[in-house]
Amino acid sequence: MKKLKDLSLSLDELIGNPKVHEMIMEKDSELVRGKQEKIKYLALKAKKESSDDETSTSRSKDEEYAMVVREFKKFFRRRGIFVRQP
């Protein structure tokens, strides 16, 4: 069998509980509103680079890559590891 819940609450307790609940909810909503007012939103705009900038960037990366390859070749030549066969 199921046990019954204790339903012997006084009238003051029945009326008081919803009021306490409402007061708690009001205080919580006031706190939330206060925090929302303090929050500042920041929006950033994106700026698209022109094609000239993109081209120069890719050129500089290509030049940097070529320089690294040359340095590796020099390093291996000095060590005698990388020698071209005619």
Delimit the domains of the chain by residue range: 11-79
- 2-49 pLDDT, tens per residue? 555 656 656 666 566 777 667 777 887 877 776 666 666 767 777 776
What is the value of pTM for the model shown?
Answer: 0.31
Number of H helices, E strands in the chain: 2, 0
- Rounded distance, CA 27 to CA 22, Å? 9
Q: Say which range, 34-38, 55-59, 68-72, 76-80, has the weakest mean pLDDT.
A: 34-38
Do residues 76 and 82 make contact, with C-beta atoms less than 8 angstroms apart? yes
CA dihedral sign, ordered 69, 71, 74, 76: negative
